[in-house]
Structure 1
Amino acid sequence: MTTELKVSHLNKKYRTKKALDDVSFEVKSGQIVGLVGPNGSGKTTLMKAALGLIKVDGEVEIQGDPVTFSKHKQLEKVGQLIEYPAIYPFLTGYDHLKMFADGKNQKARIDELVQDLGMQDYIKNRAKSYSLGMKQKLGIAMALINNPSLVILDEPMNGLDPHAVIEVRQLIQKLAKQGVTFLISSHILSELEKVIDHLIIFNEGKVVRDTTPQELNGSYKIRVVIKTNDDRAACETLNNAGFKMPKTKVSFLLKDETTLAVVIKFLVEQGFDVLDVDKQASDLESSLMKLLYPNESAQGGEA
Structure 2
Amino acid sequence: MIEINNLTIKITETSILKDVSLSISENKIVGLIAPNGTGKTTFLKSIAGLVSKKGKVLLNSCDLIENRSMYLKQIFFVESNENIYSNLTAMDHLEYIKSTWESAVNITEVLASLGMEKYKAIPIKKLSLGMKQHVLIAMYVVSDAPVLLLDEPMNGLDPASLTIVNNLLVELKERGKIIIFSSHNLSNINEICDEFLFMHNEKLVLVKANTHNIQEIYDEFYIKGAQ
TM > 0.5: yes
Q: Give the aligned partner of residue 198 of structure 1.
A: 195
Contact 2:98 2:104 in 1 (8 A): no
Residue 262 of structure 1 aligns with which residue? none
Given that 1:52 and 1:69 are in contact with CA atoms closer than 8 Å, whether structure 2 keeps it comes out as no
After TM superposition, give the deviation of residue 99 of structure 1 in Å.
Answer: 2.0
Q: Quick check: 2:8–2:20 contact (8 Å CA) kept in 1?
A: yes
The amino acid that maps onto 2:215 is: E
Distance 1:21 1:295, change over 3 A: closer
1:76 aligned onto 2:73:
yes
Partner of 1:120: 117
Q: Which residue of 1 aligns with 2:223?
A: 293
| Backbone CA RMSD of aligned residues | 2.2
Corresponding position of 1:225 = none
Residue 213 of structure 1 aligns with which residue?
A: 209
Report Cα offsets for 1:169-193 as digits up to 9, x if no partner. Answer: 0000011111111011111111111
Name the residue aligned to 2:25: 28
**Partner residue of 2:127?**
130
* Counterpart Cα distance in 2 of 1:79 and 1:173: 17
Residue 69 to residue 214, structure 1, CA distance change in 2 (3 Å):
same
Question: Residue 99 in 1 paired to residue 77 in 2?
Answer: no
Offset at 1:68? Answer: 4.5
What secondary structure is seen at the aligned counterpart in 1 of 2:83? Answer: coil
Contact 2:9 2:17 in 1 (8 A): yes
The answer (yes or no) to whether the contact 2:80–2:136 under 8 Å persists in 1 is no
Residues 203/291 of structure 1: CA separation in 2 closer, same or farther (3 Å cut)? closer
- 1:139 partner letter: L
- In structure 2, the CA distance between the partners of 1:100 and 1:295, relative to structure 1 (3 Å rule), is closer
CA separation of 1:205/1:31 partners in 2, compared to 1, >3 Å: closer, same or farther? Answer: same
Contact 1:52 1:71 in 2 (8 A): no
In the other structure, the counterpart of 1:239 is none
1:154 positional shift: 0.7
Task: Measure, in 2, the Cα distance between the counterparts of 1:64 and 1:105.
Answer: 23
Identity of aligned residues (%): 30
SS at match of 1:91: coil
| Cα separation, 2, equivalents of 1:119 and 1:212 | 34
CA distance in 1, matches of 2:46, 2:67: 12
Q: Is the 8 A contact 2:41 2:79 kept in 1?
A: yes
The one-letter code matched in structure 1 to 2:176 is: G
Question: Hey, what's the Cα distance between the residues in 2 that align with 1:288 and 1:89?
Answer: 36
Any conservation in 1 of the 2:6–2:56 contact (CA below 8 Å)? yes
The count of corresponding residues between Structure 1 and Structure 2 is 225
User: In the alignment, what sits opposite 1:246?
Assistant: none
Paired amino acid for 1:182: I
Amino acid at match of 1:64: S
The answer to whether the 8 A contact 1:54-1:69 is kept is: no
CA–CA separation in structure 1 for the residues paired with 2:164 and 2:220 = 31
Q: Structure 1: how far apart are the matches of 2:110 and 2:57?
A: 29
Corresponding residue for residue 300 of structure 1: none
